[in-house]
Amino acid sequence: MKKLKKLPLILTILSIVTFIAPVSADVKVVTTIKPIHSLASYLMDGIGKPDLIVDGYASPHGFSMKPSHAKMLQNADLIFWVGEDLENFLEKPLGSIAKKAEKIELMDVKGLNVLKFRERNIFDDHEGHDNHDDHDGHAKKKKDGHDDHGHDDHGAHGFEWAGLFELKAGTYNWSFAKVDGKYADPAMKMVILSADDIEEVEESAEKLLEAESTVSKVGGEVLIAKNNSYKLNFDANKDMTVFKVKINKDGKYAFFTEHMPFEFESNEHFFKDTSGKNLEPIAQEPEGGHDDHAGHDDHDGHEGHAHGEFDPHIWLDPINAKVILFEMSKHLIELDAKNEAIYKANLSKAYNEIDKLTMEVMTELNQSVASIVFHDAYQYFEKRFNVNILGAFTVNTDVMPGAEQLAEIREIIEHDKVSCVFSEPQFNPDIIKAVAKDMNIKTGIVDPLGATLNPGKDLYFDLIRNMSASFKGC
């Protein structure tokens, strides 16, 4: 009888355990490299674990698949990869093996800040390296140029995003919404100019955005295409602040903003006409903001390196990581709707962690020393955090530096008083050690893939922090 009396209590405990147990995922996810696997792992935390192809110290450059990897692809429902410019080993298997899977090429995700590869291994003012007089004041030139325009989050321009719209005369609504209970920024600058294309007025827009004088606006007020910069102030007491955009004449108009529009999108599209119809740009900058990448398919013919036209190391900008997370969450929810609430909660947590990470690294790297890296893989990190990288031993890991490149590197080290040269765990460091020993400077290791880190949801954050520590400490 005593045992029978305990039975209801046991059943109650079992029911509680059952209730709080994580719900398993109905989707099999495959990722290619550790940083992308980490972001997917964060979203799937409490539900399941994605598979990883390029593990350990392996590099996606020249990677050879094993039968176990082929089985992953064959069983996959959803595959996240950066693109053919990074994981070219995957291009054919995706078509022949992963027939049932949905394949998401992250380089094509709308809203990314996608940068073009640099043509040479000498960066910035050193493009004209033969003219030694140009080196004087190198550090000042870089500081005074577009890389440092007074708004740390805006990359290589005075703006973070530009969009070209074809508009009829009339009034439109441009809205800014709180995401996760707050605005991405309490205020933001915007410039609106009549133009046939973005490049035509890009320089003028940058000057206006960098100027101290602005026209301050609050929600409900009117913006027009004019040769001035607007400071848009968002109402902290409202979930959305809406501005009127008045177009006086049919034509094309370029909008330049200090933030990506999607950062202020909750349930409503950022730009609409008075009937509520969503308006999309006919062109954007960065070009990764639209599907065709402005000729992205024509990568193989790019001169100067064996890569494509666009740098695929997109994850090294934490703002890009947020874009990737959002895209991943959409596809996960589509295929695994019953766990939608968990995916959304994890997405919100990831956003907050990335925001903290970004501010932390910006503070840590406010004064980075001049350095040289092994290959040109860091410009997203460099531009986001204003890291002073002067050049790379090579732009292409398949081609080791020749005598001319090494001579240029040595010249920069001597002239610009370079403090450190960096190798990578995935590649032989002998040539870097030899140059460092010869020039009597320090060496360090910087790792864009997380070779030494254990796969999982924390890897991405550890990777960015480790890179920051490497650049600061060398």
Is residue 449 located within the same domain as residue 377? yes
Burial of residue 309 (number of CB atoms within 10 Å: 0-12, 13-18, 19+): buried
Q: Does the residue 304 lie in any domain?
A: no
Q: What is the CATH number of the domain that holds 32?
A: 3.40.50.1980
Say what the pLDDT of residue 450 is: 94
Q: Does the residue 45 lie in any domain?
A: yes
Q: Does the residue 183 lie in any domain?
A: yes
What's the pLDDT tens digit per position in 397-439? 666 777 877 888 888 888 888 888 898 888 877 888 888 888 8
Domain range for residue 228? 161-285
Percent of the chain with pLDDT over 90: 49
More confident residue, 267 or 356: 356
Say what the pLDDT of residue 191 is: 96
Instruction: Report the pLDDT averaged over residues 107-123.
Output: 87
Q: What is the DSSP string of 8-44?
A: HHHHHHHHHHHHHSPPPPSS-EEESSHHHHHHHHHHT
- What does pLDDT average to over the chain? 82
Is residue 220 located within the same domain as residue 327? no
Instruction: Report the pLDDT averaged over residues 138-147.
Output: 35
Q: Is the pLDDT of residue 6 over 80?
A: no
Say what the pLDDT of residue 81 is: 97
Residues 6 or more apart whose CB falls under 8 angstroms from that of 251 comprise 166, 167, 194
Q: What is the DSSP string of 345-414?
A: HHHHHHHHHHHHHHHHHHHHTTTPPPEEEEES--HHHHHHHT--EEEEEES-TTS---HHHHHHHHHHHH
Say what the pLDDT of residue 122 is: 80
Instruction: Report the pLDDT averaged over residues 62-82.
Output: 90
Q: What is the DSSP string of 65-116?
A: --HHHHHHHHH-SEEEE--TTT-GGGHHHHHHT--SSEEEEGGG-TT----B
What's the pLDDT tens digit per position in 371-389? 888 888 899 999 999 898 8
Say what the pLDDT of residue 129 is: 41
Is residue 249 located within the same domain as residue 344? no
**In which band, very low, low, confident or very high, does the pLDDT at 298 lie, cut at 50, 70 and 90?**
very low
Is residue 187 located within the same domain as residue 261? yes
Say what the pLDDT of residue 348 is: 97
Instruction: Report the pLDDT averaged over residues 170-187.
Output: 90
Say what the pLDDT of residue 135 is: 36
Is residue 278 located within the same domain as residue 217? yes
Is residue 371 located within the same domain as residue 351? no
The mean-pLDDT minimum among 38-47, 150-159, 342-351, 420-429 falls in: 150-159
Is residue 347 located within the same domain as residue 421? no
Q: Does the residue 73 lie in any domain?
A: yes
Is residue 375 located within the same domain as residue 469? yes
Count structural domains, the chain: 3
**In which band, very low, low, confident or very high, does the pLDDT at 370 lie, cut at 50, 70 and 90?**
confident
Is residue 134 located within the same domain as residue 246? no
317: Cα separation from own chain's centroid? 4
Is residue 281 located within the same domain as residue 165? yes
Q: Does the residue 204 lie in any domain?
A: yes
**In which band, very low, low, confident or very high, does the pLDDT at 304 lie, cut at 50, 70 and 90?**
very low
What's the pLDDT tens digit per position in 219-269? 999 999 999 999 999 999 999 999 999 999 999 999 999 887 877 877 788
Is residue 428 located within the same domain as residue 384? yes
Percent of the chain with pLDDT over 70: 81
Domain limit, last residue, from 250, 285, 320: 285
Say what the pLDDT of residue 338 is: 96
Say what the pLDDT of residue 62 is: 75
More confident residue, 324 or 148: 324
Q: Does the residue 260 lie in any domain?
A: yes
